[in-house]
Structure 1
């Protein structure tokens, strides 16, 4: 781990204080030093690397744009191009198993876009789309993620219903040659629970999904032969003594594959659950303060530490993670960053 790329919101509409896509160099001792802050379009947010880790792709929240960047030898970024995919508010982006296409999920667009990767790493044309229908013609369900299974044969895409659509998670089979997505199964959530993100266990069988408004984490079994999902468990992401407003935001599985973690905005905490090694069922082991406001995103770095992006306190907080107990222990390494919403390590 040498570089971190942080997407930061920039607009007044988002009450943001960020200035663009920030590049940090990380020393062997773990010290973060800002090397570059690159502004191409507003709200660079969720991002991913290509499979060779030569290029970075970023979506621009609240717009209809996605950008490509070449990673230079010193870790800084060179902007290649920005394309307009047409779907409003892209919120997630990922590269397929052959490094051939980029998949983008759009919230208000309600659509997954398959975009060609050009030979020079830039983004090409949209080659396929998959739209989640809404309650009426012309309305959509708002897609919030495009998550691969471990073999990159399926996309799991959560969607919120909001007013005009249906809260759900679909399993979509991916055609590697054409980029076309075909539905194999669908889970319909309770009204207003609002599925947001999911995480796939390394065994490619256990799938965990968090619901934003319901403040819940659900456990599914997934059959990669049939593409079917089976919901088996539901737990709260906040303690039973919490009665205030809360929004679940991100769900991750720790590097050992033994714990599921879910962040909660507004209650500003992270819930930790132990995974039963035989059944995949969850048991809560604790709730930990994220030491900031609005943990929209968190992830594990190659060094095993957990980094929490607290959007509304302008901080990235580093935690040690105990792989035996699941405890999150702050290291007191705080990286000041304006409105951070995504972190990608290289």
Structure 2
């Protein structure tokens, strides 16, 4: 397939661990195979990425002690720095989300959410708001205070949710669409010690799933978009009973048709496959099986736009591996991989 007919993927990585920064790859639309086109290390440790609607601008966090976010113009096979990186006024940002004309970052080190304006040309302005999370967890080493790990919008677009690993909670903010500044609305407490890391919504808009890092579990929740209320329903393990290896789950993805859920688990280097219908349900997911992630320490999972292929960014083995998904069972089958040192995330244009 000619490169001009291919899709595009962008791979974030840790430059401090030997990564190339942001890697641009062509995506074969028939096979899902990736081909590296270019890379830029214009910012340090661009560990998580987000594309603007239309795909003309790519945004990245710089997961450093000082913390910054950066915009990149996307043209052909390259991502070019657009303006200068902007401080987030928080430490170690790990995640970001576009909300209208604003970019929000989750700052792990400082336990806060930062709001940056997005200018008409895609450049970032100085922070207009920093919202601190509050609280602590039971672990005195990693849980002395809040550690915001992810920020997402709900399917209705009315709410912003911040997943906090340090306080075992999910913060809910109501979104001011004019200013882009979220206002604290409520906090949902999860079981102490679980360490919630990332969450994903079901296509029905009424359910969400929170993946926990300190215990290899998934918490199913009911989501009320009218009230902005997240209600935990129950927990499901993402490792088979009797697994001896300690698992550290990292990312959760729900299929486009809402029938399956996949979770990346570091330590066991596996991808958990959970059923949301049939043997399971949206309220009570069931672990069907686990498959090898194709590398070591899977930090991220992503579906391609077709929803037929799943990609794992394996940080410590330095690769991105892709899988074809069985439409009937939801079980991924390894189809290929490329070298990608210190890979941390994958997004698709």
Same fold by TM-score, threshold 0.5 exceeded? yes
Q: Tell me, what secondary structure is at the counterpart of 1:226?
A: coil
1:1-346 map, 5 Å: 2-11=7-16, 16-29=17-30, 30-63=32-65, 64-72=67-75, 74-80=76-82, 81-96=84-99, 98=100, 100-135=101-136, 140-161=145-166, 166-276=167-277, 280-303=283-306, 304-331=308-335, 333-346=336-349
- 1:5 and 1:152 map into 2 onto residues whose CA distance is 25
> Alpha-carbon deviation of 1:279?
5.0
Distance of 2:172 and 2:328 partners within structure 1: 32
Which stretch has the larger CA shift, 203-212 or 243-252? 243-252
CA separation in 1, counterparts of 2:190 and 2:269?
A: 24
What SS class does the counterpart of residue 328 from structure 2 fall into?
coil
CA gap 1:323/1:173 in 2 versus in 1, 3 angstroms:
farther
After TM superposition, give the deviation of residue 108 of structure 1 in Å.
0.7
3-state secondary structure, aligned to 1:293: coil
Structure 1: 4+ residue segments shifted above 4 A: none
Q: Tell me the TM-score normalised to structure 2 length.
A: 0.91
Whether the aligned pair in 1 keeps the contact of 2:233 and 2:283 (CA below 8 Å) is: no
Between stretches 177-186 and 85-94, larger displacement belongs to 177-186
1:125 is paired with a residue whose SS is coil
In structure 1, stretches of 5+ residues that fail to align are none
Note the C-alpha offset of 1:135: 4.6
Deviation at 1:95, TM superposition (A): 0.7
Q: C-alpha root-mean-square deviation of aligned residues, in Å?
A: 1.7
Q: Is the 8 A contact 1:108 1:140 kept in 2?
A: no
- Give the TM-score of the pair, scaled to structure 1: 0.92
Following superposition, the deviation at residue 109 of structure 1 comes to 1.5
CA deviations 1:284-324 (Å, max 9, x no partner) are 11111112100000110013200111111111111011132
Aligned residues: 332
Mapped to 1, the partners of 2:200 and 2:136 lie a distance apart of 27
Q: Which runs of 5+ in 2 are unaligned?
A: 1-5, 138-143
Equivalent pair of 1:9/1:45 in contact (CA under 8 Å): yes
- C-alpha change, 1:2 and 1:213, in structure 2 (3 Å) is same
